[in-house]
Amino acid sequence: MIKIGLTGSIAVGKSFVLSIFKTEYNIPVFSSDECVKEIYRHNVDLNNFIKDEILVSGNEFSKEDIADIVFKDSIKLEKLENYIHPLVKIERDNFINQELDKKSKFVVIEVPLLFEKNLEHEFDKIILVDVSEDIQEKRALSRKNMNKEKYLSIVANQIPNNEKIQRSDFIINNLDEATTRNNIDKIVNTLNR
């Protein structure tokens, strides 16, 4: 089975690309972002950890509240990542083992911080979803609960795209839907050879 890591910075369209691999090529996919959302929803220990270690005050919080805090405080960000990332890894490994049992030919695993967390060695091939900085910023700032300061602090915690390009096997320029679909088709054809 070929394990493909899919990565890219904030607001480049990783989820859209992942959905194309799943719906149009029937390739099993794993979304780290969706996994984290599930962990936030269902893990009582995580919620207690956040209340004790991350929040400034109060017991009620949203994912946006947490993001506002941790992207301004690198120590709290590291604490939160050190708690959540091992939980995501367990789910990711379970997914890979299930697909191995099913004898799947490929899996695509979305890992936003693949390079930042030095996870290249876990994958056979790496796909970077990329877009110009101005489009990326425009997409990010159109999101609910996003502002320029928060966007810039998130980008500051990520490796620059030009470095990610050098470390990737395939690049998907997610400028528009037609280009993206064409890039994905070429990648799937290459992998099938």
**CATH for 181:** 3.40.50.300
**pLDDT score of 58:** 63
**pLDDT score of 66:** 85
| Residue range 14-22: mean pLDDT, rounded | 97
Is the pTM above the cut of 0.75? yes
| Residue range 148-176: mean pLDDT, rounded | 92
What angle is formed at CA 32 by the lines to CA 13 and CA 121, rounded to 5 degrees? 100
Which structural domain, as residue segments, surrounds residue 142?
2-192
Number of structural domains in the chain: 1
DSSP state of 122: G
Rounded Cα distance between 141 and 19, Å, is: 22
* Burial letters 151-173, b for 16+ CB under 10 A, else e: bebbbeebeebeebeeebebbbb
| Residue range 10-24: mean pLDDT, rounded | 96
| Residue range 156-183: mean pLDDT, rounded | 93
3 state DSSP class of 127 = strand
